[in-house]
Structure 1
Amino acid sequence: MKLNKSLIFTICCCFIFIKCKIIEEKQTKNSSFKSGKKWLDTNGDHINAHGGGIMFRDGVYYWFGEHKTEGRGGNTTLIGVRCYSSTDLYNWKNEGIALQVVENPDSEITKGAVIERPKVVFNKKNRKYVMWFHLELKDQGYNAARTGVAVSDFPTGPFKFLKSYRPNAGNWPINFKEEWKTETENTPVKWWTPEWYTYVKKGGFVRRDFESGQMSRDMTVFVDDNEKAYHIHSSEDNLTLHISELTDDYLDFTNKWITLAPAGNNEAPAIFKDKDTYFMITSGCTGWDPNAARSFKAKSIWGPWESLGNPSIGKDAELTFHSQSTYILPVEGKKNAFIFMADRWVPRNPIDGTYVWLPIKINNGKPILKWYDKWDLNFFN
């Protein structure tokens, strides 16, 4: 059967209209944040930068995150760390893979290892871009508990992997009591008992890992006003947070460090400084499932740190709006303007994970997170 010319013309017009709509949708510019929704880059693809952090340099924001893949195996690292760039925080250009896993099975970052929560900072002294990340070795689950460092001459990479660490081997935290160093009590057989909590709080796990170096899992990096950098990580089987000072080149540890909230089960640390006060937001330890966030503050990076409780308010506050913290972003050019960045994990298909970005308000000396379906940077005006 022959199609008449009118029908052919109509089909062609429909095809052209649909194609134009697809192109138009892909090129539509964002002008606000819509948490929990799919966030498309300037190519029209869902942003793939999970557990990420952001660095600002020369008028450009760079977002680094885990490149996830499809299926339950997508939480192992099969590609590497991806980078995006933006000048307005709403619209992001895909800059490619900043740190790529390798095929060499002898490398610590071989394909199939686990690279999580990458954070990049710029070192003004050596003019290098430094990336730190949580590293788990291939086929070892989460037993390695290491932190890796890579370096680049350019913000988008490529980054060169240098080495990984179990931090602070052979060094006691500066807030450790002298009598704890020679404590000989055996580890309580049963966890989560009063005796076990006392053991952990008195540094039992610090002593356990003293020679080999402390465990390092969920982590972030913070550069202070004086350009001193700090590595903050979940340690002691995710029981205690550690804050460690980095060397002047940001590539190693000075071995000056403290413990924070021993036996508190904190992970996913995110830190910021407002005026003369340091604030930190963390999560509890419930795997990929969301839980109630926690918050802390201190006048010195070395503490003492005061617990402030859950910073979230309103509906779903007890689940941190179904997300987990990853980074707190200071907005350039605006005073006292900070964005809470978090992930909504999808372990059955990690590539589908979405992002929650919310403004932080400081109320009576405490950070407050409230849900907004849609908001923009005018919130801080």
Structure 2
Amino acid sequence: MKKYLFVFCFVLPLLALSQKQEWIHPGEIWPDQDGNHIQAHGGGITKVGKTYYWYGEERRQGLDSNKRYVSCYASRDLINWKFKGDVLQLSDPENLGRRWVCERPKVFYNKKTKKYVMYLHLDNSTYKLARVAVCTSDKPDGNFTYVKSFRPLGHESRDIGQFIDDDGTPYLIFEDRPFGFRIATLTEDYLGVDKEVCLIPMHMEGGAVVHYGGLYYAIGSALTGWDPNPNKYATAVSLAGPWSEFKDIAPPETKTYGSQSTLMLKIDGRKKTTVVFMADIWKPRTQWDSRYLWMPIEIGDGKLWLPQPRPWKVDVKSGEVKFK
């Protein structure tokens, strides 16, 4: 009797962990298909066929403190994610010393070279290096190999973001602390930065851009480190600008509901185009417990608004969103 009770109690939690999730719960623990909290902080999304790949900073406990890790998760519905492993395990590549920094991975796919190209913010402990690192892989789920680091077009680069326009042109967004954040095209092989398209003269990080309804929308957060602040947006007819005045994306007293932007994901469905605000809720003292705030935004006619977070889901085929 006791033996069978033990087997039943052991199997039941495993069954619970493998249950399919129906909703995205902003700000809550987000378990992968193994039941572990997703570790993909400061991340980005790359879609390959019908599969979305989510790359981010691996922050789980027990990691080798001499290395930096980028995790990868795969999903077809943006709700249920399978852990594909730590696709980059990087030892100090430029002799940067203790507490070196490797943040905000973003992956581009180059159709011509058939390479997956990862950009990262690479820095030393004092954030004075301010460079991007480039890694490549033949597959979306790695492993990625370190190639080089540099300052894009000679400028400082800290937080980075990615944007792929409707025509497939890839852009790197990077924060140049003395001046603002810059938007630049990549070289043909994606291994370098080709030319600057725009400098938005706002001192912001967490830069993200989306093209919707004939306008470009740019989002950024103020320079408050780990602490949240009111994220803001501006619009322009062209990426080159001119850009409008920046406005709040949510009630300023909420400080973007405790989050910081990392990407705006556009889902072009058969019936509707939905834009998802992807952001991190950082917990600097318990980084492994940092959460995510993903929410569909209200966007159009030059306005962008982040509704109060609540459970939701999206049909990636139709683009339609439902709230719980």
Q: TM-score, normalising length from structure 1?
A: 0.77
| RMSD of aligned Cα (Å) | 2.3
| Alignment partner of 1:302 is 2:240 | yes
Which of 139, 154, 169 matches 1:154?
Answer: 139
Whole-Å separation in 2 of the counterparts to 1:377 and 1:95: 23
Per-residue CA distance 1:305-352 (angstroms, 9 max, x = gap): 112401114xx7531011111111122535321111111111101111
Number of the residue aligned with 2:257: 321
Amino acid at match of 1:156: D
Gaps of 5+ in 2: none
Whole-Å separation in 1 of the counterparts to 2:253 and 2:219: 14
2:16 is paired with a residue whose SS is: helix
| Alignment partner of 1:248 is 2:188 | yes
Q: Percent identity?
A: 37
- Higher percent of residues as helix: 1
Counting only pairs closer than 5 Å after superposition, residues 192-271 of structure 1 correspond to structure 2 as: 213-237=154-178, 240-260=180-200, 262=201, 264-271=202-209
Counting only pairs closer than 5 Å after superposition, residues 79-118 of structure 1 correspond to structure 2 as: 79-102=68-91, 107=94, 112-118=99-105
CA pair 341-106 structure 1, distance change in 2 beyond 3 A: closer
Whole-Å separation in 2 of the counterparts to 1:257 and 1:324: 24
Per-residue CA distance 1:2-44 (angstroms, 9 max, x = gap): xxxxxxx2x4454334323311221111111101111111111
Whole-Å separation in 2 of the counterparts to 1:233 and 1:77: 26
Gaps of 5+ in 1: 1-8, 169-212
Q: How many residues align?
A: 317
Whole-Å separation in 1 of the counterparts to 2:68 and 2:4: 40
CA pair 77-367 structure 1, distance change in 2 beyond 3 A: farther
Whole-Å separation in 2 of the counterparts to 1:162 and 1:15: 51
Amino acid at match of 2:83: N
Which of 94, 100, 113 matches 1:126?
Answer: 113
| Alignment partner of 1:352 is 2:289 | yes
1:349 is paired with a residue whose SS is: helix
Amino acid at match of 1:327: L
Contact 1:101/1:111, CA 8 A, preserved across alignment:
no
Amino acid at match of 1:221: Q
Whole-Å separation in 2 of the counterparts to 1:340 and 1:81: 21
Which of 6, 9, 26 matches 1:35?
Answer: 26
Number of the residue aligned with 1:275: 213
Q: Shift in Å at residue 297 of structure 1?
A: 1.0
Number of the residue aligned with 1:173: none
Q: TM-score, normalising length from structure 2?
A: 0.90
1:68 is paired with a residue whose SS is: coil
Whole-Å separation in 1 of the counterparts to 2:158 and 2:262: 13
Number of the residue aligned with 2:48: 57
